[in-house]
Structures are given as C-alpha cells and as structure tokens.
Structure 1
Amino acid sequence: MERDKTDSHKVAGAPCWVTLLSRELSATQGFYSDVLGWTYRAAGLGDDFRVALTDGSPVAGIGALASSLQVAVVWTPYFAVADVDEAAARIRERGATVAVGPLAFHSGRAALATDPDGAAFGIWEGAVRSDWTVGRGSAPAWLELRTRDFADAARFYSEVLGWAPEGQGSYTLVHEEDHSVLRQDGHVVAKIRGGAVQATPDPQVRPRWHVYFRVPEVNGSVAAAVRGGGALISPRQASPELREATLRDPDGALFTVTAG
C-alpha cells in the first residue's frame, strides 16, 4: 500500500472523502477551478472521474453522472467502514436505503445510501488517504448534516458507523443543547443540526449533508461563482466583511465557502 494510504478498518467511522457527480464534467471542473482554485488529476477510475487538488494536495472527487440516473446533483461525504456489507446491512435494518452498491473499485468497495430522512452519504471499505482529514490541510473545513431531528440522526449514524460517546473512542459524538458534534481524536469534523423539512421544495431546507470549503477570500469566490453560472444562496447579498457564503453551482449542488 502507498505510504499516504491506510486501511479503512483502522479509521472506521471517520469521514474519508467527499465527491460530486456532475452532469457536465468539464464545465464543472472549470467552475470549481474558478471558484475554489482547484486543479485536477486523473483518479484511476477512467476518464469520467477526477481528483481535485489544492496546492497539489487532494481535496475531493468529481465524476460524471450517468445520463440514465435521474438524481439530484449533491456533494456527498463518504465514511470509512471496516466491512461495507455489514454497514450496508445496518443501514437497511434501520429503515434507510442503500441506493447503489456495494460496488468494487480498484482500491476498495463502496455503497451510496440515504439516511431515514433522505440525506445522501457513502460508505467505503478499502484504502483511504492518511493525509486527508476534515478540518486539516487540503480537506474540507468541516461537514454538517442538516436534518429533521438531530438526536434521531445522531443515533442512526452512531449505530451504522460506530461513533462512540465522548471519551470512549477515536470518533466520538457529543450531544449539545440543539445539535451534536463529531470529533476525531478531539478535533471537530462534523456537526448534526435539526430543523430541516423533508417535503419542502427548497433544497436549502431539505435534509442533506453540507460541505464547507476554505477559500482565501470569500467575496472573490462568490463573484467567480456568479460569473460562472452559479448563485449566492446565503446570505442573499455579498458584503465587504463576508466570512462565509453558501453557493449553488450550475448543476444545483450546494456548498459553502468559508474564510481560511
């Protein structure tokens, strides 16, 4: 195994990657290059997949969405598991859906799922990057699940991914007054918040995982997104002191940029 890789069973429960499946791969690459400064390299999965890079270090994966799949374009986090079949079974047992897989790839096996409230996430068994940790280096700043009931969602993910109470493991979930916080060896990597509404037509309010990317200057990223056919979703208007902004790419995928 490469020196910058480890096995998923050693980091089971950790966010290990984020991906986006786009309707037009080359256009999507150009958009995120302008907005986030990314460059790209081949992903080893054929011409329809690319690894996005910041200063030469991996950030995320972008692939082409098969035209036969009529699904929403969303940023999706993947979590490391020791056994993808067992994790998929736990997902189904708890009333959620395994939509795709498990499928075999050159370095492991993956499945794409939706939790009981409809938020998409992935599970991965196999080689994972040891130099990719949410909140550090080139990886996203953090992840956030916006869901209907944060306590129910926290229970589901803890049972599926093995998150433990504080002080009882490397990946611990701490319940606070109105949200839960996932820590990796004490470092915050994800939050779970309630209040989302499943039936709303507004994708900003529906249950979903949300990815935060660091940028040197938020207003510059907002301007680039608007020029590239995207949109500023929140706040509704840019301002000189803007430190965070939620954007929509031309395919409809939502993401947030935050000042690094």
Structure 2
Amino acid sequence: MNHDTTLRGDVTGAVSTHSVFGAPCWVSLTSRDLQVTEDFYQAVLGWEWRAARLGERFRIAVADGAPVAGIAAVASVWQMAVAWTPYFAVPSADEAVARVQERGGTVAVGPLSFPPGRAALLADRDGASFGIWEGALFSDWETWRRAAPAFIRLHTRDAFDAAIFYGEVLEWASSRPGCCEVGYEGEEVVLRSRGEVVARIESGALEAAPDPAIRPHWQVHFRVPDVAACARAAELNGGGVLHQGTTEAVLRDPDGAQFTVTSRKER
C-alpha cells in the first residue's frame, strides 16, 4: 500500500474529488532512501519537504508553498517497485474499482480508508499502474496544477483501447457536469479538464518488454523553467539522463524512478 499511504494527512478539505472527478489529482513516488530522494528532488526540481502524518518514512513535497507530491521510502521494506504513480479523482472509489475489475484491470490495494478520503492502487488491462482517490484534495486543484505536473502521459499498446478503458472507469466524456473532455491530436488521445491538458495517451509500448520505459506505464511530466539545468542537476546528484531534447528531458532518480521535465512553455 505504498502509494495510497502518501495521500493521507495534510489535506485541506476545501476541494473534493466530486468537483474534478476523472482528472489527475496527485502523484506519488515509492523510493528506497528517503534522504537521497529528498536531496535529489530538491536539487533537480527545487522542492522543499514537510513531514507526513504516517511516520518517518513519508514526506510531502512542497513547491511554491503548495503540496505537489507524496514520497514513501518503503520500496525495500515492502518489496515494492520504485516508480512514480498518478492518482485520479473519483466520486466513488468502490464504483471505480468495480469498473476496473469488470473491464479486465486488476486491483493491487484497496479501496482503503485514509480520512478524509479513500484510495486504491490499480492496473489497467495492459499492466500500467495508477491510483484513484475519493475525498478532499490537498489544496485547490488549480493551485496544485500550477505547482505540480504539467501533465501525465500513458505509454501503452493501443491508445484507443486504453482511452476506452479509462474513459469508462473514470467517466471521461460523460454527461456529468465537470467531467474531463477527450480529444485527439495526431495519433495521441488528449484529456482536458477545465480546458487544460492534463493527460495524454500514446500507442507503441510493448507488453512484455524488459525495459520498464517500453512497457505500458504512466510517465509524470513536471513543468520546469530550465530543462537543461534539471538534466545537469540530475547527473550531479546521483541520477541520470535517459533522453534530452530542447524542451523536454527524461530523467532517472538515484533509485531508478523515471520522470520527465518539460519546459514551462510547452503544454
């Protein structure tokens, strides 16, 4: 239950998942060494840290005064994979979990209660992990969006098939007020919430690939002012650069978790 636990505590209760349902609302990292993780992301992304209520292995990352991510240094203790995982807002965790099971996905953990909400860690039909969260959010969703990820991208076997799965599970493009809108840009499926791009889905991943960057997975993109500076900082602080372009770079932290930094000008 590594990712779920980083959601608990430090929640304002001002905004709930009923107002932004279907959209990404949090990201969580499972790591091995808390101090190494803190030092790395502070150097690369400029994050500050505050304690979480769950104990010494957990932290909340803060950027521009707003909570942006959860860290759980439990990968070694609980034999869990090191990875970033996105969480999507849902009105009902029980209903979302039932829809995942009905459509061929799997449930790893939950739903479990973490007042003031409930969470579950799931996987889609191709094995990409994601979470759901029902309840109060850490802060105003738009504040979190400005300080946190630019968007998340699903690398999967079949973008159209994945869009159907997530659309049915998370009620994208439904008749309910406030739901996410689904569109297409070239060969990518694009998800928008309140007019902003919050997720993209692209085809091409291989189900049995040995490289985790090629297997179906969600990649978190963090918006930064200087992509090249982040790449240099990653290399200087025990991480690595897997790919670097002018407006985007895929980085690896010291534990092996992959993430992308994207220029603030790119959306």
In the aligned structure 2, how far is the partner of 1:204 from the partner of 1:37?
25
Choose which of 50, 53, 56 in structure 1 pairs with 2:59.
Answer: 50
Question: Given that residues 97 and 113 in structure 1 are in contact (C-alpha distance below 8 angstroms), is that contact kept between their aligned partners in structure 2?
Answer: yes
Question: Given that residues 133 and 139 in structure 1 are in contact (C-alpha distance below 8 angstroms), is that contact kept between their aligned partners in structure 2?
Answer: no
In the aligned structure 2, how far is the partner of 1:165 from the partner of 1:182?
13
Unaligned runs of at least 5 residues, structure 1: none
Output the TM-score relative to the length of structure 2. Answer: 0.88
Q: Give % identity.
A: 56
Displacement after TM superposition at 1:226 (Å): 0.8
Query: What is the CA deviation profile of residues 101-131 of structure 1, one whole-angstrom value per residue up to 9, with x for unaligned ones?
Result: 1111132110001111111100011111352
Q: Which residue does the alignment assign to 1:109?
A: 118
Output the TM-score relative to the length of structure 1. Answer: 0.90
| SS of structure 2 residue aligned to 1:11 | coil
Question: Given that residues 16 and 80 in structure 1 are in contact (C-alpha distance below 8 angstroms), is that contact kept between their aligned partners in structure 2?
Answer: yes
Choose which of 148, 151, 167 in structure 2 pairs with 1:142.
Answer: 151
Letter in 1 for 2:205: A
Question: Given that residues 101 and 107 in structure 2 are in contact (C-alpha distance below 8 angstroms), is that contact kept between their aligned partners in structure 1?
Answer: yes
Q: Which residue does the alignment assign to 1:248?
A: 252
| SS of structure 2 residue aligned to 1:199 | coil
| SS of structure 2 residue aligned to 1:9 | coil
1:5-16 correspondence runs (5 A): 5-16=14-25
Q: Which residue does the alignment assign to 2:169?
A: 160
Question: Given that residues 134 and 189 in structure 1 are in contact (C-alpha distance below 8 angstroms), is that contact kept between their aligned partners in structure 2?
Answer: no
Letter in 2 for 1:257: V
Choose which of 234, 240, 263 in structure 2 pairs with 1:231.
Answer: 240
Query: What is the CA deviation profile of residues 66-89 of structure 1, one whole-angstrom value per residue up to 9, with x for unaligned ones?
Result: 535333211111011111111111
Query: What is the CA deviation profile of residues 119-175 of structure 1, one whole-angstrom value per residue up to 9, with x for unaligned ones?
Result: 110001111135234994202111111100000100000010000169985311113
Q: Which residue does the alignment assign to 2:128?
A: 119
Displacement after TM superposition at 1:4 (Å): 6.5
Q: Return 147-156 or 54-63, whichever deviates more.
A: 54-63
Choose which of 84, 89, 92 in structure 2 pairs with 1:83.
Answer: 92
Whether 1:171 and 2:184 are equivalent positions in the alignment is: no
Q: Return 117-126 or 213-222, whichever deviates more.
A: 213-222
Displacement after TM superposition at 1:189 (Å): 0.8
In the aligned structure 2, how far is the partner of 1:32 from the partner of 1:48?
16
Unaligned runs of at least 5 residues, structure 2: 1-10
In the aligned structure 2, how far is the partner of 1:154 from the partner of 1:125?
21
Whether 1:97 and 2:109 are equivalent positions in the alignment is: no
